[in-house]
């Protein structure tokens, strides 16, 4: 498939695909007779995996290390596993931090909701008062 099709199917821009090739995250594509890039559909799985690594915050240098190990073949499986296990621990720590922050937000939002409800309840306990117009005299006060 041509780079435009790969971009459409992967969600990356053609510029990003070229950049990933240049830095070594993606293998260089074969070229057709017109010297245009010609990608195999299997690269979509690799791009999807890279997207997961990026979403979870893996630094590019580690992604490059993983890509290099992958390129060297199955003999690097233990190193790739170790790299992913280390990253998984960082992701878990980050998820725990995010959950703690979410709890703070939920508590704060709950506090506002309770205050709003108390105000509604308070307002509902008193009948509507009629205000006298300014300057009106009260009966019997003369």
Does position 128 have pLDDT exceeding 70, yes or no? no
3-state SS track over 93-135? HHHHHHHHHHHHHHHHHHHHHHHHHHHHHHHHHCCCCCCCCCC
Q: What is the pLDDT of residue 53?
A: 98
Task: Label residue 127 by pLDDT band (50, 70, 90).
Answer: low
Between 25 and 126, name the one with better pLDDT.
25
Q: What is the pLDDT of residue 64?
A: 98
Token reading at 60: 């590019």
Predicted TM-score (pTM) of the model is: 0.73
CA atoms of 87 and 66, how far apart (whole Å):
11
Q: Where are the domains of the chain?
A: 1-55
CATH code assigned to 1-55: 1.10.1660.10
CA atoms of 82 and 69, how far apart (whole Å):
12
Location of structure tokens 């709003």: 116
């Amino acid at each position: 498939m041509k780079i435009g099709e790969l971009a459409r199917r992967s969600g990356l821009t053609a510029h990003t695909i070229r950049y990933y090739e240049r830095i070594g995250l993606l293998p260089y594509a074969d070229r057709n007779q017109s010297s245009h890039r010609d990608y195999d559909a299997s690269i979509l799985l690799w791009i999807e995996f890279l997207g997961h690594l990026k979403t979870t915050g893996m630094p590019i240098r580690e992604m490059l290390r993983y890509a290099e190990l992958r390129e060297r073949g199955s003999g690097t499986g233990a190193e790739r596993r170790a790299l992913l296990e280390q990253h998984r621990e960082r992701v878990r720590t980050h998820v725990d931090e995010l959950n703690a922050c979410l709890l703070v937000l939920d508590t704060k939002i709950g506090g506002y909701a309770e205050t709003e409800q108390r105000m509604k309840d308070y307002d509902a306990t008193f009948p509507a008062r009629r205000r006298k117009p300014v300057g009106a005299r009260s009966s019997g006060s003369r």
